[in-house]
Amino acid sequence: MQRDYHRDKVYLKNQELFENIFKVTVKKVLKHKKKGKVLEIGSSTGTLLNLFRKDGWVVQGVEPSDMSAAYAIKIGIPTIKEKFEKAKISKKFNVVILNHVLEHMENPEEVLKKVHKILNNNGLIVVNVPNAGSLSSRIYGKSWKYVLPNEHLWQFTPQSLISLLKKSGFSALSWEAKSGIWEFDNPLLELWQSLVGLKKRFFENLLTAIPSCFISKLNLGTGLSVVAQKL
């Protein structure tokens, strides 16, 4: 079993912030499927899956961190305490989500092929990763804040991720790359919560709101999200 992840406490202390982010993923799924079974790989404290559960979905998490998995189970989210690559999963799902997980995995292609096997026909996969094709990545190069060589084993551009998905048996339905407060379901709520909470990110949110808007409209943001369907 893996030890606790060093960001576990961050997730636990910022539930409202992450709910505001994760609602974007929920809405992307609901555009294609209204109900069903959803599996999240790297489900952490179960915040995203809890949003699906409240909407009537059957949920399942896979999370190797002891602390996060224990918390998710405590709030009623079924969670396999194991790395996805080693997890024995016999059920089939309508949707599988990898939220900032694929870049950490040793063999992304094998992971996607396993996802393909556990998805129902026409099942969806949602992959969120840092965008190595973003404007900020092009500007900062090796100094880009998402390089993180000890954590991020892979870097993806929209083209490389879509190509990998295609190679693994998927067809991309849509993709986008947003930045700043525009990665949130409710940008104004994020501004308000960061203000009343006296968070340092409030000033960054405020100062970057307008340029981030243009960057997001051009799909050059730091957060890349792809929705694809099993062929």
**Beta strand pairing call for 93-99 and 119-130:** parallel
- Closest C-alpha to 161, from 121, 103, 118: 103
- What's the CA gap between 191 and 10, in Å, rounded? 19
- The C-alpha atoms of residue 51 and residue 46 are separated, in whole angstroms, by 9
Tens of pLDDT, residues 166-176: 999 999 999 99
**Res 5: pLDDT:** 54
**pLDDT tens sequence across 185-213:** 999 999 999 998 888 899 999 999 999 99
Q: What is the pLDDT of residues 10-30, one digit of tens each?
A: 778 888 899 999 999 999 999
Domains of the chain: 8-230 (3.40.50.150)
Of all residues in the chain, the percent with pLDDT exceeding 70 is 97
- Computed over every residue of the chain, the mean pLDDT equals 95
- Cβ burial, residue 106 (10 Å; 0-12/13-18/19+): exposed
